[in-house]
Structure 1
Amino acid sequence: MGDQFEIEKRGQEQFDVQSNFETSSVETSLKVKNVPIHSDPNLKYIDLEPDNSPEEVARKGKWWYKTLQFLWDGTDKHPLERKFLIKLDWFLLSSSCAGYFLKTLNSSNIGTAYVNGMKEHYHMTGNQYNYMSTMWTVGYIIGQVPSNLVLHRISARYYLAALEIIWAILTVLLVVPKTLSGFYALRFFIGLTESGYFPGLEYLMGSWFSKEEISKRSTLFACAGTAAGLISGPVQQAILTSGWSHNYLQPFQWMFVIDAAIGVPIAIYTLFTDPNTPSTTTAFYFNETDVRVGLERRRRIGAQLNTRAKYTFAKIKSFFSTWHIWIFPWLFLAFNNSYQPIGSTAFQQWMKYDLKLTSYQYNIYPTALSGGGIGLAVTAAYLNDYFGGVYNSIILALMFTTISFSCVVLAIWHIPIGLHWFAYYGIGIPLAVGQPMIFSWVNRSLAHDDMKRNFVVVCTNTLAYVTGAFIPLFTFDQSQAPRFHVGFSYTATLSAFGLILTVVVQYLFWRDDRKAAREKGASDSESADIQPKDGKTFQELEPVAI
């Protein structure tokens, strides 16, 4: 589909959309005249109500149908919406997952490199490893808000693909520095260019997927990042045991080269498949009907159709009048900073220095954290969406409780070896559910307000990295490795704080839902006697069947 469609004006105030039906497919035929179909306020929208005949209701009650609906939530939707969702899942979700996998691989590969020769190569001591993480975090913080304000105004597919290419270049350049100063500088720029990627894609997915669909998609997106941990260790181990790994570069440097090589095809894929937003899409795989379906899905939840409105000071100021901007960032901080026991390589160093395990063991065993985390997160997300997306708070409460208990155990330290293993896995595996549950909560809470949702997503993500830039220097001082008593105690307290905030958010979420239900009931009663007229448009809210 081109960037613009010409629409032939018929009459003075209405546009006539013609439909062609063929056998089992539905196509829309439009005549054009230099107006983007998806920004035309006079365009009729589509009635997407599914078939609720007695026969269909009986079919939907069967066990096999409910199983299909659990596995894929497009099963019970209108045929047009079902086709649309297949395309969206195939292209948007796949490109988002591939890009986030790459982003996580590039930002976290120094942890694997550190225990596989980088520490000795650069003669690193004290907190120099933490300084590497801090430089990345500082760049990430600086770029957060500017990057997402830019994304709100330009084509997402060009912007995101460009970022992925830049990461690949910067990652391969990590093999060049002879001193840590050059390495620190590159880490800063990698963080700077990665800063807008995660919140930008959370915003885009929230723009396309409904409240009932967002948890599992956000989880699959997050699991793509977790999957980076599945391959980082095995790739490094394969490099260590290969015959060529000591030619030209150090084994840990070859991993940077391989990570960069993975990034190029992913960037090309993003360039062609990212659909932008429903009101600005020019994706080749969407026809005219798909565009209208996307807009109708936005209209049904009361969201803005124009997603390129300008931010003003007054508009931004209004975002601070509700609880979302004040609490969600702290909730995500409690989760995100609880990653520090894993990000500090405490688990690997305990295996390497205390247990004296081989490189194979301390490179491979941590992959179970990623594998178990993916399984737990996907299961939790599917169950949550299937039951209406109302269990975010329960899932998060269980996560924070498990992490807090595990960190208390590790803070004691002198415990049986088996309890050590349990505690590390008790931190690493549950963490996988936190990010998707929190951001799907943000997207559902603010689905009706596109600009505010984008702003809150960015702020929620940013605050966690502000504290993450300097607190690990004190809590996970590498000179104390692998027994980080202060770090484990801090994380246990932080997770307890997250548990309290989860209860607060759930209360406020319920309160807002009840208020919205009362207002909707009052609005429906006031408009009950209003009769629809022919020729209504998007703004006048009358569906037209296709």
Structure 2
Amino acid sequence: MATEPTESKTATVLTEPVKQSTFGSTDPHPENLPPLTKWEKFLEIIWDGGRRTKEERKLVQRLDLHVMSWATFGYFIRLLDSTNINNAYVSGMKEDLNFKGRQYNLLATFFTCGYLVGQIPSQFILTKVRPSVYLPTVELLWTILTFCFAAVPNVKTVFALRFILGMLEAPFAVGVLTLMGSWYTPRELSKRIAIFYSASYAASMFSGYLQAAIYRGMNGTAGLPGWRWLFIFCGIISIWGPLWGYYAVPDNPYTSRARWMRNEELASHRRRMEKIDRRKPVPLSWAKLKKIVTHWPLYAFTFTLICHCVVTQPLNYFPVWLKSLNRFTVYQINLFPTAAQAVGLVTTLLYGWLSDGLSRRWQIMLIPCAFNFIGMVVVVASPNFGATFFGYLINAASWGFWPVCYAWMIEILHEDMEERAIVIGVAQTFGQAFIAWVPLLILDVGKYAPRFKMGFQVMTGVSVGQTLAVGLVWWFVRWETRRKGEAKVENRSSEAEEERDSEVGHLDWRIGGV
């Protein structure tokens, strides 16, 4: 009974032109606004722009409080629960479970295979099941699985659990990107994806500190080695993510039932999305699938993500290289890689801020591409410990490519939510597919540790491919923009001709009548 008046009220708000201009970002005639002041330009770079009303600022802040807090903490625990295996491996798991040769590589391979199995189907599920139910539920399931790692009896059980963990964690990152693309405008998006993604660095850093502290303080407590206590503590930390998610996740502006969002706020969010042509979701059909499959973004961004996923593998082998030197304690091996994570954290946030503030995407993406190439070359050619350490360290500055790339992808596909969801899912899936087998060939611990020289040589070439992929997407965007512009000109010309024909016909009729 209460639904009908609410919908009627919403419709009134959405169609009222005076209220549309309340927000700086939805002004119907932005060309009539005065130029930005220096202070407004400064705010444009620092956060979401200077020309905004208090109402819009509060609206987005309230969205951040719920969506960003849940998403960032959720990604933190996702990476914590998947990467803690690296710290466990160098902290006693290898010896206790008798890992041999390339079995370390298989830890990532089994996880990635599960990730691949779960990711694309998950994006289709998201078009049918409410994200507010689906995403927190998979969070809860992988948290339960994290506790199970503390009781693993052998290597085979670890592999089985890694595969299931990959399946359960697959929906999260792509699901959050799809969700964020439905609520945030271009000047807000990149920095928030960067904040979301930076949780991966925080998770890796925290896992290193946590394992180092546990190894010192709890190794042997209750008869359990320190690496088993790591999984128990990670599970305790993770349980709060899904509990908050069931309340905080708002679906999308056209279907949201979020208890924390008022009707007028929901109407304002819809208005913001309509102004930038983020359209209402429509059911997936064969015609739409055909359009997606024949459209260039699916292939261009998939190639880009394949290159990016391959060239970001070195940090997974940083602790293996440190352990092989036989000059550092377990505590130090867990601690030193956190320096690289700190570099990644700072640079990822910096790229996101610059990209939104300067309204530049591909230009900013070239910066992490350059850092990646430099890091690869240094590790390949390094003659000593210091240079190799620096090469691993600077490679972390290339991971910030990912958030800006996805912000660009969401903007390019702003008109079609279903295409955004599928392209995000397919691109991320193929990227993960390549890191399921490429490290086995070029970064085999049994063959190439500790230097991994051949692997870094291959990845140097792929790093060049990543840079070329940015140019490929830029070319397609220019080509499509030009084609759409030409189509608009043709439409205007044909409309003008029809109008002239109509006028001539009207005159002929009048002459004949006379």
Superposed pair shares fold, TM > 0.5: yes
Select the residue among 444, 460, 468 that pairs with 2:435. 468
Q: Structure 1 residues 176 and 360 mapped into 2: Cα distance closer, same or farther (>3 Å)?
A: closer
How many Å separate the matches in 1 of 2:485 and 2:47? 28
Give 1:313's aligned residue: 286
TM-score, length-scaled by structure 1: 0.84
1:403 equivalent in alignment to 2:372: yes
1:328 equivalent in alignment to 2:301: yes
Q: Structure 1 residues 257 and 337 mapped into 2: Cα distance closer, same or farther (>3 Å)?
A: same
**Further displaced range: 73-82 or 115-124:** 73-82
Select the residue among 337, 360, 383 that pairs with 2:310. 337
Q: Structure 1 residues 171 and 478 mapped into 2: Cα distance closer, same or farther (>3 Å)?
A: same
Select the residue among 352, 374, 378 that pairs with 2:323. 352
> Partner of 2:222: helix, strand, or coil?
coil
How many Å separate the matches in 1 of 2:197 and 2:419? 22
Give 1:259's aligned residue: 234
How far residue 248 of structure 1 moved from its aligned partner, in angstroms, is: 3.0
Q: Do 1:167 and 1:194's aligned partners in 2 also have CA atoms closer than 8 Å?
A: yes
Structure 1 counterpart of 2:145, one-letter code: L
How far residue 101 of structure 1 moved from its aligned partner, in angstroms, is: 0.7
Give 1:212's aligned residue: 187
> Partner of 1:406: helix, strand, or coil?
helix
Give 2:362's aligned residue: 393
How many Å separate the matches in 2 of 1:357 and 1:509? 50
Give 1:70's aligned residue: 45
Q: Do 1:144 and 1:196's aligned partners in 2 also have CA atoms closer than 8 Å?
A: yes
Which whole-Å deviations, capped at 9, do the CAs of 1:278-330 have from their partners, x for residues lacking one? 1111112221111111111221122322x2x3222222121122210111011
1:451 equivalent in alignment to 2:403: no
Select the residue among 510, 516, 530 that pairs with 2:478. 510
Q: Do 2:215 and 2:331's aligned partners in 1 also have CA atoms closer than 8 Å?
A: no
How many Å separate the matches in 2 of 1:518 and 1:212? 27
**Backbone CA RMSD of aligned residues:** 2.7
TM-score, length-scaled by structure 2: 0.89
Structure 2 counterpart of 1:362, one-letter code: I
Equivalent pairs counted in the alignment come to: 489
Q: Structure 1 residues 187 and 206 mapped into 2: Cα distance closer, same or farther (>3 Å)?
A: same
1:377 equivalent in alignment to 2:336: no
Give 1:235's aligned residue: 210
Q: Structure 1 residues 416 and 449 mapped into 2: Cα distance closer, same or farther (>3 Å)?
A: same
Structure 2 counterpart of 1:454, one-letter code: A
1:423 equivalent in alignment to 2:384: no
**Further displaced range: 503-512 or 174-183:** 503-512
Q: Do 2:40 and 2:49's aligned partners in 1 also have CA atoms closer than 8 Å?
A: no
Residues 513-528 of structure 1 mapped to structure 2, 5 A cutoff: 513-516=481-484
Give 2:503's aligned residue: none
Select the residue among 382, 388, 408 that pairs with 1:441. 408
Q: Structure 1 residues 263 and 223 mapped into 2: Cα distance closer, same or farther (>3 Å)?
A: same
How many Å separate the matches in 2 of 1:503 and 1:363? 38
> Partner of 2:106: helix, strand, or coil?
helix
Select the residue among 213, 218, 225 that pairs with 2:200. 225
Residues 69-108 of structure 1 mapped to structure 2, 5 A cutoff: 69-73=44-48, 75-108=50-83
Q: Structure 1 residues 475 and 403 mapped into 2: Cα distance closer, same or farther (>3 Å)?
A: same
Which whole-Å deviations, capped at 9, do the CAs of 1:311-359 have from their partners, x for residues lacking one? 222221211222101110110111111122112x2x2232222261222
How many Å separate the matches in 1 of 2:351 and 2:110? 34
How many Å separate the matches in 2 of 1:268 and 1:37? 32
How many Å separate the matches in 2 of 1:507 and 1:120? 52
Q: Structure 1 residues 500 and 357 mapped into 2: Cα distance closer, same or farther (>3 Å)?
A: same
> Partner of 1:286: helix, strand, or coil?
coil
Give 1:17's aligned residue: none
Give 2:451's aligned residue: 483
Report percent identity of matched pairs.
27
